[in-house]
Structure 1
Amino acid sequence: MRDDDASWDEDVRLAVYRAFAGRGRAPSAPELADAAGGSLAVAKQALHRLADAHHLVLDEWEHVVLAHPFAARSLGFSVMGSRTLWWGGCAWDSFAVPHLVAAEPEVLIATRCPGCGQPHALVVNRAEPPEGAQVAHFLVPAARMWDDVLHTCAHQRLFCCESCVDAWLAASGEAKGYVVDLVTLWRLARGWYAGRLERGYRRREPADAVAYFAEAGLTGPFWAPAGRV
């Protein structure tokens, strides 16, 4: 039996991500224990280390809330494949699901515009960006996204247009962040989580993240991360 933390961490990480990818939910306590050699205590220790390393997000009850791009509860997006229904963590994450889950090359993403309440449904696949006039607004810059990641994800939303973004900002009192069209959002999501369902996944270093963002068409101070992302 292995007793090194890194081995259990990777087994538990994979159990979490593969449960979300395959069934749209976090693994059960027995499933987590199985991934940690039969010990739920070891699994919980691994979950906390994974949260500290920004691989996932836990709530106060030690439940997995986010394992990007998947969420355990509604954060404004449902993502429906042919076999599985997910909660998307945000606009970015929702667009990433068909790129990450090999068995689901096309999904139907449903959400509402925070500015006017208009419902939106978009078919997103891995072949080409969806058509539409909608835009995504990112409130929190990359360097601060993990300061309060639930707040960050809750404010990466799809709007009807930039006028709806401005209306929401005026009503909420928030400062404007960064607005992208659907093509740029799709490019951002396309390869961001590549390899996350495989053993040995590593988060991007800042320079790698900046290069990836630039390839998607995102440059400038807003997209300069402070650490691994």
Structure 2
Amino acid sequence: MSSVDQDTVARVHHAFIRPMLDTGRMPTRAAVASETGTSLEVLDDALAALAGIHGVVLDPHDGEPWVMHPFSAAPTATWVEHGDQGWWAPCPWCAFGIAGLKNGHATIHTRLGGEREPVVVHVQDGRVLEDDLVVHFAVPPRDAWNNVHRFCASVLLFRNRNAVSAWCVRHGIAEGGTMPVQQAWELGRDWYARHADPDWRKWSAVQAAGIFNHVGLTTPFWHIPAADQPF
């Protein structure tokens, strides 16, 4: 963690998240520095602090935000629509988070199992219309930050649990945690509920575990060890 204080980190986080939510476009570091009256040096310190608590993934070449969950600044296989707005999401969990930030209304475009068949999921009035689908997590969330891109890439929608099992055998991937799509929506909604707040703080491990428990994810796959660091 750099020497910048938590209020500055939260202010910088909000300065990127709010325009992304409003426009679908990630602002540049230079634009945020100008908008907030912050020097680029202090801004980069805040971004480094955010990266240290997994609040942003920075492009290793130019230091610009690459992923600031639930948004991706680069194209992904998951597209979220709300009216004439749209965003790339790293995974369905994030896509449902965006839907939550847009008051429970969005259309999500992706592919079943990340393969050939496209699927469209509609969230309306806080409910998923295609409620017979399931979402599979191949990697336990406690291991997400070992390789967050692999984690996000393996959170996928499927027709049913049998399709998950067949997919895991086909690709040689251990079967992880599978939930009804409505439960995945509730997870995304609750997880990202405060993400656009000006005073945002990263969830602690205890708070993260509480969210999982609240939406009914109580098996060992979803266990998060208690820790002092943000999750």
TM-score of the pair, normalised by structure 1: 0.89
Question: Any runs of at least 4 consecutive aligned residues in structure 1 with deviations exceeding 3 A, and if so which?
Answer: none
Correspondence list, 1:22-37, <5 A:
22-35=22-35, 37=37
Who is 2:40 aligned against? Answer: 40
2 CA distance for matches of 1:210 and 1:38? 35
8 Å CA contact 1:9, 1:50 repeated in 2 = yes
Amino acid at match of 1:133: D
Who is 2:130 aligned against? Answer: 131
Number of equivalent positions: 224
**Unpaired runs of at least 5, structure 2:** none
Who is 2:69 aligned against? Answer: 68
Q: How much has 1:203 moved relative to structure 2?
A: 2.1
8 Å CA contact 1:126, 1:190 repeated in 2 = no
Who is 1:5 aligned against? Answer: 4
2 CA distance for matches of 1:117 and 1:161? 16
Q: How much has 1:118 moved relative to structure 2?
A: 1.2
2 CA distance for matches of 1:49 and 1:125? 36
2 CA distance for matches of 1:9 and 1:35? 15
8 Å CA contact 2:17, 2:196 repeated in 1 = yes
2 CA distance for matches of 1:84 and 1:40? 29
Q: How much has 1:87 moved relative to structure 2?
A: 0.5
2 CA distance for matches of 1:66 and 1:126? 27
2 CA distance for matches of 1:46 and 1:206? 21
Q: How much has 1:66 moved relative to structure 2?
A: 1.4
CA 1:153–1:207: 2 relative to 1, 3 Å: same
TM-score of the pair, normalised by structure 2: 0.88
1:143-187 Cα distance to aligned partner (Å, 9 max, x none): 111111111111111112223222321222111110111121122
Pair 1:50-2:50 in alignment: yes
8 Å CA contact 1:139, 1:178 repeated in 2 = yes
CA 1:218–1:59: 2 relative to 1, 3 Å: same
Tell me the SS of whatever aligns to 1:34: helix
Structure 1 window deviating more from structure 2 (149-158 vs 188-197): it is: 188-197
Structure 1 window deviating more from structure 2 (155-164 vs 138-147): it is: 155-164
Amino acid at match of 1:121: V
